[in-house]
């Protein structure tokens, strides 16, 4: 029965891969014969990036040296690359600056949001299920600004909003379970209460449409090393809606965000536009590696990425249900497409040894202790045959691994 079922699902995988309009993108990445399902932690390397980085090192830095700030466009890289990310998150040009880490940008955004909200609002609502660093940063920002942190589940945000709410910090996709939160609805509720909406897009940018401008998000942050494939430690980005840029008051004013950075005046005068999100000297090598990596998005519609993501995760869950020993894994990932990101999270007793054996067998995912297996599906390079193979190997590993 198992073999019959597997033969049918393998055949379907081949048919689906043959019809995949994004299939040609896979050849742009450095991948081996294994199944890589950890792009929600670190995206695969686009093959052309090393040569571009080599040019940055040998020609731009090695030969041109200081001249590259002008001649190689180093100085304008944060805004230029921000404009390349903008279409992937539904933003017009001039609203995203690439700089610093996600954590630093969360701090900028939360403090600035509190300042935008004005007097009399002393509460910052924070997603209690968020990636821990967001909570740590928000709590520190609140201590510094005299706000009170209110942690709660995203679904409970509308009922908690009120005249004391200054800002709300939410994750678009839950990093653990892969649940997609209602960005349009929650943003509208935050605005109805007179507060400022701040979104963390780390697990959604490059995996699904975001619609920052369409849904009137105020501020947003995100990393670039997951679905955007920018490389380990690649710089993050900060979105400041155009309507807020004149009032955006960064808590980290630096010479790079000064209206006249080379005037070296003791008084700080902020630059216009998204440049206000800059702080210090940009990390040029990793930033230009990211710029090169974004080439793989040329000609790609985010809507096609989303359609394939949902089809892949549906198919993987179907295969897991067909193959896995009864009762060994339970999906934490929502069934409803409107509530799902681009990963599948499976609750599994003994998750750590199971994932270790999966990786030994060439199926690379990751885990969240103590009992969650995570599998990230990156539509630019993950295929349906990958999903079927991963589910089959998982079933074999589970059959040979005692439940903890």
Token digits of residue 252: 């980290």
How many CA atoms are closer than 13 Å to the CA of 337, on its beta-carbon side? 11
Q: Report whether 293 contacts 230 (CB < 8 A).
A: yes
- Dihedral pair phi/psi, residue 305, rounded to 5°: -60, -45
pLDDT band at residue 18, thresholds of 50, 70 and 90?
very high
User: Is 315 one of the catalytic residues?
Assistant: no
Nearest to 297 by CA among 150, 81, 135, 122: 81
The conformation of residue 165, written as its DSSP 8-state character, comes to E
**pLDDT number for residue 360:** 97
Helices (H), 27-168: 49-55, 68-71, 77-85, 102-117, 132-145, 157-160
Within 8 A by CB and 6+ apart from 149, the residues are 123, 124, 126, 138, 139, 142
Q: What pLDDT, on a 0 to 100 scale, did the predictor assign at position 402?
A: 65
Give tens-digit pLDDT for 246-284: 999 999 999 999 999 999 999 999 999 999 999 999 999
Catalytically annotated residue among 278, 374, 384, 389: 374
- Residue tagged active-site, from 225, 227, 315, 381: 225
Mean per-residue pLDDT of the chain = 96
> Of residues 200, 366, 371, 386, which has the active-site annotation?
200
Burial of 41: CB neighbours in 10 Å, binned 0-12, 13-18, 19+: middle
**Which entry of 29, 131, 175, 377 is annotated as an active-site residue?**
131
Give yes or no: 239 in active site. no
Q: What pLDDT score was predicted for residue 1?
A: 55
pLDDT of residue 4: 72
175 is catalytic: no
- 313-329 per-position pLDDT tens digit: 999 999 999 999 999 99
Can 226 be counted among the known catalytic residues?
yes
Say if CB 147 and CB 114 are below 8 A apart: yes
Query: How does DSSP classify residue 230?
Result: -
Residue range 108-127: average pLDDT? Answer: 96
Instruction: Indicate which residue of 25, 121, 226, 278 is catalytic.
Output: 226
Give the tokens for residue 30.
């450095």
DSSP state of 44: P
3-state secondary structure of 88: helix
User: Helix axis angle, 132-145 relative to 102-117, nearest 10°?
Assistant: 40
Check pLDDT > 60 for residue 125: yes
Residues in the chain: 404
Distance CA 325, CA 309 (A): 25
pTM given for the model: 0.97
Backbone angles phi, psi at 348, to 5 degrees: -150, 120
Q: What percent of the chain has pLDDT over 90?
A: 96
Q: What is the pLDDT, as a whole number, of residue 3?
A: 72
> Above 60 in pLDDT, residue 105?
yes
27 is catalytic: no
Q: How far is residue 271 from each of residues 5, 81, 94, measured CA to CA in Å? A: 62, 18, 13
Q: Residue 130's pLDDT is what?
A: 85
pLDDT per position as a tens digit, 204-235 = 999 999 999 999 999 999 999 999 999 999 99
Query: What mean pLDDT do residues 95-103 have?
Result: 98
What tokens does 352 get? 């750590």
Q: Which of these ranges, 127-131, 134-138, 169-173, has the smallest mean pLDDT?
A: 127-131
Residue 243: pLDDT band (50, 70, 90) is very high
């Amino acid at each position: 029965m198992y073999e019959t079922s597997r033969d049918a699902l393998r055949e379907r995988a081949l048919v689906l891969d043959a019809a995949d309009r994004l299939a040609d993108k896979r050849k742009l990445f450095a991948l081996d014969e294994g199944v890589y399902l950890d792009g929600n932690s670190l995206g695969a390397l686009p093959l052309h990036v090393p040569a571009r980085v080599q040019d940055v090192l040998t020609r731009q830095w090695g030969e041109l040296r200081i001249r590259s700030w002008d001649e190689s466009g180093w100085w304008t890289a944060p805004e230029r690359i921000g404009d390349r990310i903008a279409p992937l998150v539904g933003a017009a040009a001039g609203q995203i600056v690439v700089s610093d880490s996600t954590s630093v940008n969360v701090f900028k955004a939360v403090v600035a949001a509190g300042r935008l909200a004005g007097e009399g609002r002393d509460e910052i609502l924070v997603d209690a299920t968020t990636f821990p660093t967001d909570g740590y940063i928000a709590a520190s920002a609140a201590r510094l600004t005299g706000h009170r942190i209110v942690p709660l589940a995203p679904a409970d945000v509308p009922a908690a909003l009120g005249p004391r709410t200054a800002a709300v910090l939410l994750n678009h996709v839950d990093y653990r379970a892969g649940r997609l939160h209602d960005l349009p609805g929650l943003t509208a509720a935050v605005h109805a209460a007179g507060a400022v909406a701040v979104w963390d897009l780390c697990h959604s940018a490059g995996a699904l449409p975001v619609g920052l401008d369409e849904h009137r998000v105020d501020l947003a942050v995100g990393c670039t090393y997951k679905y955007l494939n920018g490389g380990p430690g690649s710089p993050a980005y900060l979105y400041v809606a155009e309507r807020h840029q004149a009032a955006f008051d960064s808590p980290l004013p630096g010479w790079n965000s000064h209206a006249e950075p080379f005037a070296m005046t003791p008084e700080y005068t902020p630059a216009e536009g998204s440049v206000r999100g800059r702080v210090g000297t940009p990390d040029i090598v990793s930033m230009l590696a990211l710029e090169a990596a974004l080439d793989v998005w040329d000609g790609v519609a985010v809507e096609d990425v989303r359609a394939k993501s949902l089809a892949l995760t549906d198919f993987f869950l179907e295969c897991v249900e067909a193959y896995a020993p009864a009762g060994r894994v339970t999906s934490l990932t929502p069934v409803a497409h409107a509530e799902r990101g681009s990963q599948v999270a499976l609750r599994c007793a003994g998750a750590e040894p199971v994932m270790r054996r999966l990786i030994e067998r060439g199926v690379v995912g990751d885990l969240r202790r103590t009992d969650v297996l995570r599998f990230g599906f990156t539509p630019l390079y993950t295929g349906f045959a990958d999903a079927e193979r991963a589910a089959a190997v998982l079933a074999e590993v589970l059959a040979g691994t005692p439940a903890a």
